[in-house]
A and B are shown apart, each in its own frame.
Chain A
Amino acid sequence: MAPFVVRRFLDSLTVLVGVSFIAFAILFLSGDPTYLMIPENYTRAQITDFRHQMGFDRPWYVQYGDFLGHAVRGDFGVSLRNRIPALPLVLERMPATLELALAAMALSLAVALPLGVVAATRRGTLIDAASMVGGLVGQSTPGFWLGLLLILFFGVDLRWLPVSGRGGIAHLVLPGVTLATYSMGRTARVVRASMLDALGHDFIRTAHAKGLSGAAVVYRHALRNALMPIVTLIGLDFGVLLGGAVITETVFGWPGIGRLVVNAIYEKDFPIVETAVILIATVFVFLNLCVDIAYGYLDPRVRYD
């Protein structure tokens, strides 16, 4: 197990170096930031001096090496807009984004797991058909549109819930539902398929034959064996949620990384974009590392060697 964890960890590090390169390349290709940083009345000589001082006149690989060297020490450069270091600015927004993503994840699982299990155990019934059609509709609904409709109905017409900003649980409801809908539909469908697969095994018939109650068979025997694909999906879904948060946060004025990135893009503040992209990718890579390691505990059949 230990060598596997080490190898997988090193793999993740390589991926992160690649991520930093892609993020750097995007920033580099966006052009020379000099003109965003200097006053308009600079002379040509002053511009040359400034570029040299900032190191913008060096070849790209030197700049990348420099960037990577600073990045591992936690220095991601400064925001071009307000000259504040980029990392703290982005980190400050991280809790809000994680709160929203985790709430959406919890909501999605709370609905999708039971729904998928019920659909699988009552295969072919009206409940099955209705929940699967519902899942497909959820997967096909653009999140930002759903968000607008929810704002219109629950915020503007009924005035039940706040439609903007971060605060207590009430503020979390509408953005949480908006963000959860897609993964809810997808997870419910995967849970159903995975459960159907597990319920078809011989050990299920044995469990029934030795007189176990239906619930014990479903939850202790079938669901446990159906968990693997579901856990994989949860890991991948977290990336979808973090990405989806970009749009959801914009719709609901949620003060997270997503809204920060979108505003930074409008203002051409690329160090912020780059830092946020690298941080989100880091969270995602780390999470999927945990999922891989969790396999070993969830399923003793998985051997790492």
Chain B
Amino acid sequence: MRSDGLSGAKVSGAQAAPTGEPLLEIRDLYTHIVTPRGVVRAVDGISLEVAQGGAVGLVGESGSGKSMTAFSILRLFPTAGARTISGSVRLSGRDLLRLSEEEMRRVRGGEVAMIFQDPATYLNPVLTVGRQVAEAYAMRSGWGEARRSAVRALATVGLPDPEAVYGRFPHELSGGMRQRAVIAMATVCGPSLLIADEPTTALDVTIQAQILELLARLRKELGTALLLITHDLGIVAETCEVVYVMYAGKIVESGPVGSVLVSPAHPYTQGLMAGALTIEEARPVVAVMEGTVPDLANLPSGCRFHPRCPKVMDRCALQPPPEFAVAEGQMAACWLCGESPA
């Protein structure tokens, strides 16, 4: 295992904030997209925390709003018409939503970095890998120092012969190597938070194992906290400490991975877990949930899961449920989960 790490880059922001404070604290975040079809309520009042150096999973199906949550943190939206309406996104106590565009630019790629599903689309095909890795660092220092940092970062992510890789073009690397290069690009400035949106979905399972091990190692060696967005419950079980389950723009359940995935309280999480297949045993395939995720521009009344819920009650269609505490650190937004809102 290499120990040179990213020692040349600025020390991780992990030490900057007072202890006990979460690194990232999202409160009542609303991000809506104005489209010709109407307002798409992609993120509709969610709260989420990531501890210093922690690993948090954000799980959901497509159309649940999990990627839009990540884009809201970075204030970068892939679609026109997307806008954060209200809420706060505090990073080490500072509300990112109140920063100027110039200040925000320093946060991106500095304190917060993001990697995506398809590494090929996020690399510029006509620039060398090294130049792209060095770029974020060069914004803060000169190119000479940036080049040295980039080579170190390429070594840290486990690319063999980093000096040679520095001069290569993206098409000369395999998919797994490209994702390593993208991770080097994201971590060259020593971010305190790495947001990874389906980082291994496009990769083969043996390469996925390599990348997940790399992310775990970066956490350990650099203290980089991880917000991992995925649809794969197995990846969450193996990588994360805390999990948030998202459905139709809302967090429906959250808590320690050992609680939520072992004794899920929300019928949606229960459905996901009941339908989860595993290499450990030949489970009968059961389709617990009928239908699909609702259209975010045309949401059901009350609890958004009620049309698909096997345990639906009269109340569910009328009133959206608040979050109830169901166990130590575990919350579920479901009327079945008790009388006392958390």
Is chain B found bound to chain A in the same assembly? no
